[in-house]
Structure 1
């Protein structure tokens, strides 16, 4: 699409400090706004050139645009249609144009679109609309706030014997733009047109979106009684004119205004009733516009292209609440279309319009109004301005269903409370719902991304249950069973005291188990890694029982038996007076055994054979170096650890 800007007679918002084109004469030129609509009265700029020779380039006019409204790239071509003339045919004046883009409000070039272009067609001596046709430009990437600057002048390479001049026309607010060879240069405004600049200097209507979900916001200007009700803009239809219109200006090139009209006024006893939606010349409400009008008295939908409030040949349709639920203004390929649709997607062209000069401007507004001469007051409603893709309908309060439903791009709906189901349900992009309390089930349930739910107390089951990422539940006291039960990652389980059974039960890594006093059994039961329990005094049995790694128990005095009993690694016990033993038994690694009143032997011996009948003992011994020491005064032996190489004989 192309963007048309006019050579206005209005002051620019900013003027660069220097001229950037190549000019031999650059003084006294006019500086005006390169506007998005014609402005100001007709004016001229004329610069004389004294007699002389050589190529001379004279600056007549500088046009400077408003700042860009968004970043983008200008590309394609540039064309202009401006009224000019030369004072004498001997001047042989032709176009000299330099077009560039400022970096914001500065004198720095963002880029040059057209560098010192020189035309080939001579100006006429009568002021006439003149162009050089479409001229290719260099692409320039611009930023928000950058300005387009067109430096306009003439060039001559002819030797002149007298002072001659060239003149440029600008300004005028005529409704017909200047065309080639037209001489109405004071009533038809001149213009510049650039391809590839859509929406850069004025936002396109497609950027206007509103679903009216909360209030009428700053995008709109309205009369007092217009409200946002039920997610729609409601415009009362009373004997007072009520209206709603855009607060800023837009352009329609390559753009659209699509909207839903779900409610229209009823006849209500009156005949002069109307609801209208307009695309207007702006920047305020104007009688030059494109119009959809619905009249309930006639039941017709009328499409107009009005100039000064009049259209001699409107298009009239019998209104259908189904087929005409959506209305649209749209520009494409140099034409403007007025269309209707049942669903915001399947559009039917109802009227095609060749754009007038005002439709090319960047100062258009969209507005709606309603009024009746008499009868019962009611209202019209509009909704979903440029919010439609596929089928889009107004949504009332709805019950949540098993599968979350997609909602259109920016529309929203209120969703009622829903019962939680066994499987957590996905919720759409921006929807939310309240989830009721749920009972814990055997398998922990996944909860959606941001949902949470309260989980009631649950009894511990045989197998510890996995709990979801951030859920927690209180666990009731449980009896320990024969096989220690694993507990989930961060749960805690209070365990009541239990009776130790014949085989000690393993406990999970971090559980604690209070253990009641127990009678020692034939085989010492290992206790888990960090548990401890108190073991009462026990009577030593025929075979000494090993105890776990860190347990300690006191042993009462015991009678020595046929074979001295091995004690566990780090245990110690006192041994009472003992009778003669048949075969000395090796003490454990760190045990100490005190022998009281033993048979006196002067040399430590290893007992190699032994016979035992009643209390009589016959032994065969051999020396064992360093095995035993004896206190001669008492005749008592003191046991000490034997070398690792010593092994007791089985006989």
Structure 2
């Protein structure tokens, strides 16, 4: 495992003895932080010897003890190699107002770098190994880091039996605590947020878009209209109470004309007709001049029927009164 795999947020109120099996002193978790007594004795969170630092890191938030009248009041964060006095890391001394950046061999480091301690600038500490170089870094927020020292990585950073020691101690003065938090937690996991406020200076607009809006549908307090639109509506299509007709139109339709295109006869009927009867329509006779002539002498017919006296018509006189005998 790499040292970056050693993660603890100290939020559950109980020291994780799986992560910190070699710890000593009256360490505890309180208020979401790991707490280490800072007395004339020694106390520490100490991990298992099971990690490597190659291409890895260890970072955390550190709250050092108060000076409390001591000459030295320290909290140290060290990666131990397994060989006594061979280690690398940080030592914060609030009594001496200093931060030491160490790469020790036999408890000594002639090239150690010392910073004037700032509770803001040095709130977070990180020791990082990358491609053969060690980096000592600090940050005010765990996000923006400043490199304070670099050195060639010693061979022991590749070992797989490294451990992490976080220890507190003072030489005198009032007993106190050092506290730690957010060990290798994702950057920004805990970020105190305040209510957003408007900035006093607004940025100028680079561009703007406009959209013409129609009249509001509803408004608690309507603004006076500065313009209006009108649309003439036609008669309603239907209404519960019908309006009387104002006018009507009529058109006389004539007989339909025959079309030139006749449909084919699909069936027919036939009727046999008899002999036509003659129909005579007599015309009125126009009287012309009458010329009297003597009646002919009737003789008996040799072939026709014998004429007898009529019983219904007028009687024929024997002689003519006007003609000859």
Taking the TM superposition and a 5 Å limit, the aligned residue runs for 1:64-143 are none
Question: What is the deviation of 1:286?
Answer: 3.1
Picking from 247, 252, 264, the partner of 2:64 is 264
Matched, 1:235 2:36: yes
For 2:143 and 2:153, locate their aligned partners in 1 and report how far apart those are by CA, in whole Å: 24
Higher relative contact order (CA 8 A, sep 6+): 2
Distance 1:368 1:286 in 2: 15
Could you say which structure has the larger radius of gyration?
2
2:46 is matched with: 245
1:276 to 62, 68, 76: 76
1: CA distance, partners of 2:129 / 2:89: 15
Change (3 A) 1:204 1:372: same
Task: Give 1:388 shift.
Answer: 3.1
* 1:52-97 Cα deviation digits (max 9, x unpaired): xxxxxxxxxxxxxxxxxxxxxxxxxxxxxxxxxxxxxxxxxxxxxx
Q: Does 1:313 align with 2:111?
A: yes
Could you list the runs of 5+ residues in structure 1 that have no partner in the other structure? 1-202, 402-651
The question of 1:345 aligning with 2:143 is answered yes
> Would the aligned equivalents of 1:345 and 1:391 in 2 still touch at CA under 8 Å?
no
d(CA) in 2 for partners of 1:388 and 1:372?
Answer: 32
Post-superposition offset of 1:319: 0.9
Q: How far apart, in 2, do the equivalents of 1:353 and 1:280 lie?
A: 17
The structural deviation recorded for 1:310 is: 0.5
Aligned length: 192
Equivalent pair of 1:345/1:388 in contact (CA under 8 Å): no
Asked whether the equivalents of residues 11 and 32 of structure 2 are also in contact (C-alpha less than 8 Å), the reply is: yes
Structure 1 contact 344–388 (Cα < 8 Å) conserved? no
The answer to whether the 8 Å contact 2:42/2:167 transfers is yes
Aligned pairs for 1:285-324 (under 5 A) are: 286-324=84-122
Measured after TM superposition, the shift of residue 393 of structure 1 is 4.0
1:195 corresponds to which residue?
none
**Aligned equivalents of 1:394, 1:243: Cα separation in 2:** 28
Q: Distance in 2 between matches of 1:324 and 1:330?
A: 16
**Structure with more of its chain in strand, by fraction:** 1
C-alpha distance in 1, partners of 2:182/2:111?
Answer: 30
Task: Choose from 152, 162, 168 the match for 1:364.
Answer: 162
Hey, what does 1:379 align to over in structure 2?
177
Q: 2: CA distance between counterparts of 1:322 and 1:307?
A: 30
TM value normalised by structure 1: 0.29
Query: Are 2:7 and 1:226 equivalent residues in the alignment?
Result: no
Give the deviation of 1:394 after TM superposition. Answer: 6.9
The answer to whether the 8 A contact 1:259-1:326 is kept is yes
Q: CA deviation at 1:211?
A: 0.1
Report the 3-state secondary structure (helix = DSSP H, G, I; strand = E; otherwise coil) of the residue aligned with 1:358.
helix
State the partner residue of 1:416.
none
Local SS of the residue matching 1:250: coil
| Match runs of 1:580-599 below 5 Å | none
Q: 1:394 to 1:358 in 2, by over 3 A?
A: farther
- For the Cα contact (< 8 Å) 2:25–2:42, is it kept in 1? no
> Runs in 1 of length 4+ with deviation above 2 angstroms?
390-395
Contact 2:25-2:37 at 8 Å conserved across structures: no
Take 1:311 and 1:393, find their aligned partners in 2: how far apart are those partners? 36
Distance 2:170 2:93 in 1: 10
1: CA distance, partners of 2:179 / 2:186: 16
Deviation at residue 356 of structure 1 after TM alignment: 1.3
Alignment of 1:209 with 2:209, yes or no, is no
Residues 517-566 of structure 1: per-residue CA shift (max 9 Å, x gap): xxxxxxxxxxxxxxxxxxxxxxxxxxxxxxxxxxxxxxxxxxxxxxxxxx
Q: Structure 2 unaligned runs (5+)? A: 196-325
Once the 2 structures are TM-superposed, how far is the Cα of residue 233 of structure 1 from its aligned partner? 0.7
- Give yes or no for contact 2:57–2:126 (8 Å, CA) kept in 1: yes
Structure 1 CA distance for aligned equivalents of residues 36 and 70 of structure 2: 18
**TM-score with structure 2 setting the length:** 0.56
- CA-atom RMSD, angstroms? 1.9
C-alpha distance in 1 between matches for 2:106 and 2:119: 30
Q: Deviations over 1:313-365 (max 9, x none)?
A: 21011111111110011111221111111111111111112111212211111
SS in 1 for 2:115: strand
User: CA shift at 1:372, angstroms?
Assistant: 1.0
Aligned-pair CA distance for 1:391: 6.9
Partners of 1:322 and 1:388 lie apart in 2 by 20
What is the distance in 2 between the residues matched to 1:335 and 1:394?
Answer: 33
Distance in 2, Cα, partners of 1:333 & 1:224: 36
Q: Contact 1:344–1:392 at 8 Å: present in 2 too?
A: no
Equivalent residue, structure 2, for 1:392: 190
State the Cα distance separating 1:280 from its structure 2 match.
1.2
Q: Secondary structure at the match of 1:222?
A: coil
